[in-house]
Structure 1
Amino acid sequence: MPKQITRAYEERLLRIRIMSHTGDKIHIKLPLDFVKRMVKNNALDFLSGKDDIMDSQKLLNLLINAFDYNLTGEIAYLERNNGDIIRLIID
């Protein structure tokens, strides 16, 4: 059984994991307060693309609500038609 790590709110992180269909793996860790500021300033725009079928603004609002309710764990799992996988995790 994996050990659960609990962090103080100020230390919590948003982890973004992207596994592309070409084999690229991207792992990003950002402090929650920083992510909140980026969302409020419309600076977290790498989640939106012209060919996306999802509403990236709704996804960002989902993240903000997850922060406000102090949720942890996997918040979103997106698998694109081309095989790309995007996971948003709060811990």
Structure 2
Amino acid sequence: MEKIKTDVLKQMFLDGARLIIEKEPYLTEIDSVIGDGDHGEGMKRGCEALIKILETENYVYVDELCRAVSIELIKTMGGASGIIFGTMFLGGISSLGH
């Protein structure tokens, strides 16, 4: 298996964040059916912050990138989602090598 390059993963995070922002109304709509309707806004807030750091910072290693993504999502997304998504990327770092 080939290793993923940091710049490719960074672009994947950017593309994913932009898609989540675009789909915020739908995420809010479906969360309104089963919850309090704030999931889309929290995801959008976290992804907007994520785009800001990814467009201004450069990362040499994949683990640096994943750590930055994790911390930014935990700080900005709020609720359980920020912890869940942030922890997912932090948890995967331990298996990465440089």
TM-score by length of 1: 0.41
TM-score by length of 2: 0.39
**Higher strand proportion:** 1
**Higher helix proportion:** 2
